[in-house]
């Protein structure tokens, strides 16, 4: 009976521990970005890749954008080519995290990376980081970059959207942001935007573009990023569908 009682007590303790255990995936998202950034700067790229693959894309993007350029693409490459991680490596990383971040992890830090994860992260990084990562990755593995970019939605891809999607996005964007974003785009995309505005609105936009004069690249990139975030939000809400190439174009 005593033996049975001890076993039952151990079972109860295990159930309590399981109920109160929080996954590493969740806890990583509760750690301050600056704290994680400082931690990752001194870690092996494989460790950083595994951790960033377990964050939400926007959080991972915010962190990777602040890392040194040569470290950015090295991490992105490792995420894109990541296989399922060994339990031993996960345990080692969790131990380091416990020591450095003072957090108790539950042993679920095992998400597999891959090109889809990298595409999601790159969709949220600033354009400078995106260009840097893709440029260096292309030098190392052109086929891999092709796989990644096929899964990404970039600003120039707006040209492939149907009229109703363009019009819906434009309702959410102010004219100054739109003018800045169009400052460094193809004439084809500009025309697509003009065609989906009233004649008065398109003329005003053209005037605003002319009035802008020289602008900083980072301001243009920020404006494009804001519009892309709007487009992705509308897609998540089911209001539009983002298509990434002519082959995916929709019939209205």
pLDDT digits (tens, 9 = 90+) for 181-196: 999 899 999 999 999 9
Q: What element of type H or E holds 78?
A: helix 69-80
Domain that holds residue 233: 155-248
**Section 115-134 average pLDDT:** 86
pLDDT of 171 reads 96
Q: How far apart are CA 18 and CA 23, in angstroms?
A: 10
186 shares its domain with 118: no
Q: How far apart are CA 41 and CA 227, in angstroms?
A: 31
3-state SS assignment for residue 31: coil
Token pair belonging to 198: 């009233």
193 shares its domain with 101: no
Domain end residue (candidates: 105, 134, 151): 151
For 60-74, the DSSP string reads HHHHHTTS-HHHHHH
25-29, 65-69, 157-161: which has the minimum mean pLDDT? 25-29
207 shares its domain with 219: yes
195 shares its domain with 131: no
28 shares its domain with 135: yes
Q: How far apart are CA 59 and CA 43, in angstroms?
A: 18
107 shares its domain with 176: no
- How many CA atoms are closer than 13 Å to the CA of 164, on its beta-carbon side? 8
Q: Which pTM value belongs to this model?
A: 0.59
Quick one: DSSP state of residue 84? P
111 shares its domain with 223: no
**Section 93-100 average pLDDT:** 64
C-alpha distances (whole Å) from 181 to each of 94, 215, 218 are 42, 11, 10
48 shares its domain with 75: yes
CATH number of the domain residue 141 falls in: 1.10.220.30
98 shares its domain with 169: no
142 shares its domain with 193: no
3-state SS assignment for residue 172: coil
**Section 57-74 average pLDDT:** 90
Is pLDDT at 236 greater than 70 in this prediction? yes
């Amino acid at each position: 009976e005593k033996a049975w009682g001890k076993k039952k007590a151990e079972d109860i303790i295990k159930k309590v521990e399981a109920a109160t255990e929080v996954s590493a995936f969740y806890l990583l998202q509760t750690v301050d970005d600056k704290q994680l950034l400082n931690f990752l700067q001194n870690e092996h790229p494989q460790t950083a890749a595994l951790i960033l693959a377990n964050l939400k894309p926007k959080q991972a993007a915010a962190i990777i954008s602040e890392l040194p350029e040569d470290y950015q693409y090295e991490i992105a490459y490792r995420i894109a080519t990541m296989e399922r991680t060994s339990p031993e490596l996960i345990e080692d990383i969790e131990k380091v995290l416990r020591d450095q971040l003072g957090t108790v992890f539950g042993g679920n830090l095992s998400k597999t990376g891959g090109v889809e994860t990298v595409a999601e992260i790159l969709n949220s990084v600033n354009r400078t980081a995106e260009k840097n990562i893709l440029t260096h990755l292309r030098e190392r593995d052109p086929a891999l970059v092709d796989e990644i970019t096929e899964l990404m939605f970039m600003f120039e891809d707006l040209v492939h959207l149907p009229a109703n999607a363009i019009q819906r996005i434009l309702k959410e964007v102010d004219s100054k942001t739109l003018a800045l974003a169009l400052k460094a785009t193809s004439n084809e995309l500009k025309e697509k935007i003009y065609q989906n505005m009233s004649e008065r609105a398109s003329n005003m936009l053209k005037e605003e573009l002319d009035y802008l004069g020289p602008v900083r690249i980072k301001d243009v990139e920020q404006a494009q990023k804001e519009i892309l975030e709007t487009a992705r939000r509308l897609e998540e809400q089911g209001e539009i569908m983002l298509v990434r190439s002519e082959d995916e174009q929709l019939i209205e």
